[in-house]
Structure formats: structure tokens, C-alpha cells
Amino acid sequence: MKHNICILGGTGFVGKHLACALSTEGHTVRILTRHRERHRDLRVLPRVEVINADVHDSQQLQHNFQQQDVVINLVGILNEHGDKGKGFYHVHVELAEKVLAASRASGIRRLLHMSALNADPGRGSSFYLRSKGEAENRMHAAKDMSVTSFRPSVIFGPEDSFINRFAELLKKTPWIFPLACGETRFAPVYVGDVAQAFVRSISNPATFGKRYNLCGPKEYTLKELVEYVARLLQLKRRIISLGRFASLLQANVLEYFPGKPFSRDNYRSLQTDSVCPEDNNVLREVFGIEPTAIEAEVPHYLLNQTSRTRYNLFRQLARRDPL
């Protein structure tokens, strides 16, 4: 069955992949954004319309939810202005309430919501995780709605802000790379797998009311991931995992850098491993998706994939010298 689907946050990293996947499946997609003209790549997709709208304006939400069957909320921030939690609460919790109200007013009963692994309003280690948990709980407290939440570990893929960010930092940092919270563990999940989980849940009643942790097939420490990126780029860097005090000191300094490359709240989030508590089988057993390993995708978007580059890369990763 084909649906009319409205996406909030559809111009972001996950949103673009999801919009493409939904379009491919024949759904009609409406994406709300403040800057329509910046997203011509989305406007060329079949059955996808990009509309200027402020997602925090309740009247605009209700207007754009008309004639829609499903609403997907992907909106989220990793940092806020200041460090008191107000920005996270506004973007995550208040928006969730507005989405619920506008959906009710428009007769929509199917909601898909992007949360985060370890999201918990009481026990989350950061404002980010607590606000994500509160938003998720409020969505699921709406008994008149069919809600499915997704709680991914860190997401990787073309144009991600994780692998690509470390790649750029490694290029700019000579010899020694000081890494905050390098022993924190992740189970990176591929953006295409996340998008497919959303797509396959839309019309599946078995997913209504469920909250799904999404993880990739393998766990890594943050240090192992950064070392992997350095090897891919053939950069000789010594990755030094900072202790708790040094990591917090780095966060306190970078908190005030333009764009907040690393904040105190990021540091707090990294005090909790981002791995699934159960076996990593949700993608496979619930959605029929074989989880994608980083080794299968990252080289394709991080490197110029000529035959010689791939050959030398594989030799290096096998701890051999390239020819």
C-alpha cells in the first residue's frame, strides 16, 4: 500500500536517504524545511515535494499534515546554545508534543519517531539523551496513535558527520591525535539499513507501539574506529585515548569553539557505551535486513575507489606494505 508521508528533518543526513528509499517504494513524500531552495537534490526525486515551513509553528504543521497518512519525525540536535538543556528540550520534547497535536488535528494516527540508543528521561547521561528519552516517552504515551520509535547507535554512510568528521580532523592533525573518551564502545549502523527499517515498519502492525534499538553487526571502541579511518586514508597518526579528566578538559575548551566540535554534553553522552543490550538481531529478525559492516561501505565514500587504491588499501589493512 502506498502512502502520503510527511517528513520532519527530511533534509538531514538520514532524511535524504529515507526520502530516496520511500520514493523508490512508490510513496509520496512531503518534506518540511526552512530553506527549500537549498535542497534541489531532493526536489528532483519522483513523488517528493519540498515545502518551506517552520516545523516549530503548530499552525504550519497542521496545515502541512493535511491529506497525509504518516508523519516521520527525524528532527534532532547534538549540541545546544549554552549547557542547560533548554535547547535540547525545545527541539526534542516540545516538537514531539506539537507533532502529536498537529497529527490529531489532521486525523493522522501513524507516527515514526527517531530517538537514540540510551535515550532515557531519568537515567540518560546527558541532556541530549534525557531529552530524547522524554520525547520518545511522550510519543508512546499517546494511546490514540500507532507509534514506532527507532534508537540507533552512531549512524555511518555517505555525507555522515561521524566518519567524515574524523577523516577531516585526522588530515589536519599531524602525528599525534588526542582522542576524548576513546574507550567508549559503538556499534555503528549503516544509514541505508536505518532507512529501510523505517520503510518496512510503516504498514507493519507488528511494529506499532514498539521501540527498536538499531546496531550494526560489530562493536568497536571509538579509538578503533578512528584508527581504522587513519589506515584507510594512509595517514600515520598515533591515536592517544585521553583519560576522563583530559577528555573533560578538552570538552570544556572545545565547547567555545565555533560550531562546538566537542561539547560538555557530548562528553557526558560518551560516558555510556552506544551498543545494543541484546544480540544485534533486530534489523535481521524484525525487518529482514542483513546489517551492513563499516568495512563494506566506508571505503567507497571515504576514498577515491580506483582499482590500484583498493588493492593497496587491502594490502595495508592486512598489515602489508603497498607495492
Q: What is the pLDDT of residues 214-251, one digit of tens each?
A: 999 999 999 999 999 999 999 999 999 999 999 999 99
Measure the CA–CA gap between 82 and 85, rounded to whole angstroms.
Answer: 8
Q: Which three cell numbers stand for residue 173?
A: 592533525
What was the pLDDT predicted at 1?
Answer: 87
Q: What is the pLDDT of residue 280?
A: 63
Q: Locate 279 and state its grid cell.
A: 544480540
- What confidence tier does 303 reach under pLDDT thresholds 50, 70, 90? confident
Q: What is the mean pLDDT of residues 112-140?
A: 98
The answer to whether residue 94 sits within a structural domain is yes
CA 70 to chain centre: 20
Identify any residues that bridge with 221 across adjacent strands, giving them in sequence order: 185
Residue 309 has pLDDT above 50, yes or no: no
Q: Find the mean pLDDT for residues 249-265.
A: 94
Cα 186 from Cα 276, distance rounded (Å): 9
DSSP letter for each residue of 67-80: T-SEEEE----S--
The CATH number covering residue 100 comes to 3.40.50.720
For residue 7, give the nearest of 57, 54, 75 by alpha carbon: 75
Amino acid identity, position 303: L
Q: Could you give the angle at the alpha carbon of 157 between the alpha carbons of 138 and 44, nearest 5°?
A: 85
Question: In this structure, is residue 139 part of a structural domain?
Answer: yes
Residue 104 maps to a domain: yes
Q: pLDDT digit string (tens) for 133-185?
A: 999 999 999 999 999 999 999 999 999 999 999 999 999 999 999 999 999 99
What are 51-109's pLDDT values in tens digits? 999 999 999 999 999 999 999 999 999 999 999 999 999 999 999 999 999 999 999 99
Other C-beta atoms closer than 10 Å to the C-beta of 271 total 15
pLDDT of amino acid 259: 86
Predicted local distance difference test score (pLDDT) of residue 281: 84
Number of domains, the chain: 1
Q: Domain range spanning residue 161?
A: 4-169+188-214
**Residue 199 gets which letter from DSSP?**
H
Count the neighbouring beta carbons within 10 Å of the beta carbon of residue 125. Answer: 16
Cα angle: 198, vertex 74, 200; to 5 degrees: 5
The overall average pLDDT reported for the chain is: 93
Residue 80 is assigned to a structural domain of this protein: yes
Tell me what pLDDT residue 306 has. Answer: 43
In a domain, 160, yes or no: yes
Give the integer Cα–Cα distance in Å for 230 and 224. 10
131 in a structural domain: yes
Pairs from 57-64 (Cβ < 8 Å, separation ≥ 24): 58/98, 58/101, 58/102, 60/32, 61/32, 61/98, 61/99, 61/102, 62/101, 62/102, 62/105, 62/106, 64/6, 64/30, 64/32
Q: Let me know if residue 257 belongs to a domain.
A: no
pLDDT number for residue 52: 96
Those residues with Cβ within 8 angstroms of residue 288's Cβ, 6 or more apart along the chain or in another chain: 200
Instruction: List CB contacts of 316: < 8 A, sequence separation 6 or more.
Output: 231, 234, 322
pTM score above 0.75: yes
Distance separating alpha carbons of residues 35 and 25, to the nearest angstrom: 26
67 in a structural domain = yes
